[in-house]
């Protein structure tokens, strides 16, 4: 077995052990594991060993069948994605070393291993297996916070993710029926189901809601790993499984512009960052969707760069949660009462490491020269220079990115005031420093990542025109923030779904008033009848009856919705089997 695959299967043994160790021994094991992941990451970076065997294992689905359950190989896109999962996963584990619960650490190992398994999967069966273990482990990371809000959001995340897996399963069955093999390739049948399944995980519009629901609901160390794994696995799948198309290219551009607009409306730091994940994933999707060598290289390089600076930004936001107990921008910069003014600390002075991480991450995500985000955005923008409308949509999104991260840094750290309740521990500060240095080092010397770039595009990206264009977009965003700072300082709320008020002429109301009143009365009657029925069905101690067997009021609406949708999905699946698919 190749050494790299240890990172895929080691959690089978190590994760259960972590649940029973003392904190001292658990930290020791985690440090060894982190060192192992970093060793594997840098081995990939330097090309220290030859590729994987085409087939790792011949574990079959049953006696007499030739269907291989686990099969791995090294595709041209595998190494760059696996490097990101290994490196950022390791630093994410380091960040939560002393603050994460044992259960969170155990599940985190499974999530990282699942992402690596997807990257090296050689068959649709292997791909789907690790896709679903990633689904379960990432949902568990949100569940483990155990607050009512986190549990509710975890159910929603799980619902979307299970629908993703089910859609992939339908597509794989149709693909196998058409070609007779589970080999991982561009699908020749069931393309719609592949697009739907991968699109959910990648946060295609309008399938993106699970990202701003789930990421901010988890404990802050878990959010770092969620940001590094979930949608990035989706981007890899877009490049590996979906054929390039103008639909995917335009979808990516629309994701970039829509999500950056939504990010501007957020006052919660992690919600702002979550929408920016969707926006930056849009750049990657647009690149791989275009399908030419330069755009694919730019998209996959942006995948790695984004993992690094986005994890860094989530770490900086997590530092605020850990030290001051809030991540709400308006709580941080709201005017203090005179009696409390002397008790509040200036955030950037009290948390210099977190502030540096926030500034470096903001400059990197904005595409500022000398930071890693500039390198991959340079490739993407050159590849899409003459592609309309994707090219100019991405440029507009770049201005919005600089604008919203000016808001992030200014209101969160520069103008922010709060009472520091505790200090950042050493492992959290070290993780922030490592990722900050990575953003700078790979921005100044992008050739360090040259061995990972699939199509070997040149990383000589510092031209006068490239630097000038990047600075114009960044400075344009900062200038927009200076003009809009007063408006952005106020809390803005956008309800979903957005209600529309219908203005009706008085004559129309008089003419049709009776009809409107009748409709309103009928609606109220239906509501009262349904409510009465639910009350009658509701279980109460001492009552017996055919329907009095379940406490309806204790069932979350999301759980009921999930149960209904899964039931429909199972009926559809079995109907497919009965028709011979």
Domain locations in the chain as residue ranges: 1-232, 245-304+325-349+373-424+450-488
Could you read off the pLDDT of 501-513 as tens digits, one per residue? 334 444 444 555 5
Query: Phi and psi for 123 in degrees, rounded to 5?
Result: -135, 160
Residue 219 has a CB neighbour count (10 Å cut-off) of 21
Cβ distance 109 to 15 under 8 Å? yes
Structure confidence at residue 421 (pLDDT): 84
Tokens describing residue 253: 């551009």
Structure confidence at residue 6 (pLDDT): 86
Cβ distance 413 to 348 under 8 Å? yes
> Is residue 200 over pLDDT 90?
yes
Place of tokens 């993407």: 380
Cβ distance 266 to 278 under 8 Å? no
Structure confidence at residue 514 (pLDDT): 66
Place of tokens 């979808």: 251
Mean pLDDT score across all residues of the chain: 83
320-329: average pLDDT = 87
The burial class, CB within 10 Å (0-12 / 13-18 / 19+), for 224 is buried
547 vs 567, residue with greater confidence: 567
Percent above pLDDT 70 for the chain = 80
Cβ distance 98 to 27 under 8 Å? yes
For 410, which DSSP code?
I
Residue 158 has a CB neighbour count (10 Å cut-off) of 22
Alpha helix positions (H), 384-462: 390-409, 426-444
Q: 23-32 long-range CB contacts below 8 Å, 24 or more apart?
A: 23/102, 26/102, 26/105, 27/97, 27/98, 30/93, 30/97, 30/105, 31/97
108-126: average pLDDT = 93
Tokens describing residue 267: 């006052």
354-379: average pLDDT = 94
The burial class, CB within 10 Å (0-12 / 13-18 / 19+), for 551 is exposed
492 vs 33, residue with greater confidence: 33
Work out the pLDDT band at 403, boundaries 50, 70, 90. Answer: very high
> Is residue 223 over pLDDT 50?
yes
Whole-structure pTM value: 0.82
> Is residue 499 over pLDDT 70?
no
């Amino acid at each position: 077995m190749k050494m790299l695959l240890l990172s895929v299967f080691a959690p089978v043994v190590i994760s259960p052990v972590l649940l029973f160790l003392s904190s001292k021994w658990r930290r020791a094991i985690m440090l060894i594991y982190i060192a192992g992941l970093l060793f594997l990451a840098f081995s990939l970076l330097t090309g220290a060993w030859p590729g994987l065997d085409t087939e790792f294992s011949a574990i079959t689905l049953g006696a007499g069948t030739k269907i291989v359950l686990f099969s791995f190989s090294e595709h041209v896109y595998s190494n760059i994605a696996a490097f990101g999962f290994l490196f950022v996963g390791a630093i994410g584990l380091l960040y939560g070393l002393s603050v994460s619960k044992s259960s969170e650490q155990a599940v985190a190992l499974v999530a990282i291993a699942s992402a690596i398994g997807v990257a090296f999967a050689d068959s649709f069966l292997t791909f789907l297996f690790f896709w679903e273990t990633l689904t379960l482990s990432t949902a568990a990371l949100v569940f483990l916070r155990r607050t009512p809000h986190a549990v509710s959001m975890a159910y929603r995340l799980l619902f979307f993710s299970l629908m993703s897996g089910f859609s992939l399963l339908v597509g794989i069955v149709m693909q196998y029926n058409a070609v007779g093999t589970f080999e991982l390739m561009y699908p020749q049948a069931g393309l719609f189901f592949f697009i739907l399944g991968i699109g959910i995980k990648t946060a295609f519009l309008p399938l993106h809601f699970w990202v701003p629901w789930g990421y901010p609901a988890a404990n802050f160390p878990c959010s770092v790993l969620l940001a590094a794994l979930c949608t990035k696995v989706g981007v890899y799948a877009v490049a590996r499984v979906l054929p390039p198309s103008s639909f995917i290219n335009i979808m990516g551009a629309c994701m970039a512009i829509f999500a950056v607009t939504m990010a501007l409306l957020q006052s919660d730091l992690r919600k702002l960052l979550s929408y920016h994940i969707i926006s930056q994933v849009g750049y990657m999707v647009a690149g791989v969707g275009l399908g030419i060598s330069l755009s694919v290289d730019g998209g996959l390089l942006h995948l790695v760069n984004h993992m690094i600076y986005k994890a860094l930004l989530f770490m900086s936001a997590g530092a605020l949660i850990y030290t001051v107990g809030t991540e709400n921008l308006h709580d941080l910069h709201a005017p203090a009462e005179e009696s409390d003014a002397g008790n509040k600390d200036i955030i950037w002075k009290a948390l210099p490491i977190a502030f540096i991480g926030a500034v470096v991450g903001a400059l990197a995500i904005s595409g500022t020269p000398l930071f890693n985000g500039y390198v991959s955005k340079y490739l993407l923008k050159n590849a899409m220079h003459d592609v309309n409308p994707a090219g100019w949509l991405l440029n507009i999104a770049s201005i919005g990115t600089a604008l919203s991260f000016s808001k992030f840094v200014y209101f969160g750290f520069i103008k922010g005031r709060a009472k520091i309740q505790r200090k950042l521990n050493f492992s959290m500060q070290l993780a922030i420093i490592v990722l900050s240095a990575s953003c700078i080092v790979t921005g100044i010397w992008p050739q360090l990542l040259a061995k990972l770039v699939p199509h070997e595009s040149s990383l000589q990206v510092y031209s006068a025109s490239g630097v000038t264009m990047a600075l114009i977009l960044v400075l344009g965003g900062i200038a927009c923030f200076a003009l809009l700072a007063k408006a952005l300082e106020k809390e803005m709320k956008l309800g979903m779904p957005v209600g529309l008020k219908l203005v009706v002429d008085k004559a129309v109301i008089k003419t049709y008033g009776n009809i409107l009143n009748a409709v309103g009365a009928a609606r109220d009657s239906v509501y009262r009848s349904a409510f009465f029925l639910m009350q009658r069905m509701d279980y109460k101690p001492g009552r017996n009856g055919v329907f009095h067997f379940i406490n309806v009021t204790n069932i979350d609406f999301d759980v009921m919705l999930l149960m209904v949708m899964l039931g429909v999905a199972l009926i559809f699946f079995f109907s497919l089997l009965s028709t011979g698919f």
